Amino acid sequence: MAYGYTLLCAVALALTFGLERVLRTGVFRSRVYWVAMAIVAFFQVLVDGWLTCRPIVTYAEEQFSSVRFGCPDWAVFTAGGMPLEDVAFGFAMVTQALMWWVWWGRRLAAAPDRGR
Amino acid sequence: MGPYEYLALLAACLLITAPLEIVLGVRVYRQARRLGLTLLCTGVVFVAWDLLGAVLGHWDYHPQRISGIHILGLPLEEYLFFLVVPICAILAFEAVRTTIDDVGAWLRRRVGRR
């Protein structure tokens, strides 16, 4: 199916916001979260840029929007760069990780005898 | 770099963020139980997605730039990716939490002086 990656990214974003409704961590209202996400986004451009420009990971053109961020004009880079969808993938993964981190922090703090 | 290129990239991510734990003193690695449970909860979903994406042909890996070790058809590096990236993000999150008040106060002083 064409646009398969695009579709799964939409599902992942919906699941991420759905997970917050269940875990109620409040990350989206926290300044710490948004500042951290800005820092993470900067490093995502570097790391994902390297993965997709070299390339180490290659993408099937028909499976995503074909919108790419492009690469510096260096001889070591031979591919097209980060797909737009990777932004959603990264956002979903990092946000879910931070939500679970906050949630487990509260949960384990509520039962301190079990140790951290 | 050859077959270690992807592994080296992941190692660089851990090296660059390590000072946050060691120098700044955030407690991420030192809350091993909390970190392990977090990585498990996040990892299950995203490894499943990665397997699905590979099966459906959404993406592939450059055979000369990965170790060649595969688990369930996915390169070892992909599993490590789902450990390394969340760890780095959590370290950044805790580092921001630790420093945001000091940085905010410093910025306000700078602005106030003008």
At which residue do the structure tokens 């270690």 appear?
A: B4
Q: pLDDT by residue (tens digit) across A32-88?
A: 999 999 999 999 999 999 999 999 999 999 999 999 999 999 999 999 899 999 999
- Give the chain A residue whose CA is nearest to the CA of B49: A8
Contacts of B58 in chain A (CB under 8 A): 4-5, 8, 59-60, 63-64
Domain count, chain B: 1
Contacts of B93 in chain A (CB under 8 A): 32-33, 36, 98, 101
Q: Is the pTM of this model over 0.95?
A: no
Which pLDDT does position B112 carry in this prediction? Answer: 79
Structural domain of B41: 2-113
A54–B31 CB contact, under 8 Å = no
**Residue A18: Cβ-neighbour burial (10 angstroms; 0-12, 13-18, 19+):** exposed
B21-42: b or e for each residue (b if 16 or more CB lie within 10 Å)? beeeebebeebeebbebbbebb
Which pLDDT does position A113 carry in this prediction? Answer: 59
Distance from CA of B90 to the nearest CA of A (A): 6
Q: How many percent of chain B have pLDDT more than 90?
A: 89
Hey, which residues does B70 pair with through a beta bridge? Answer: B75
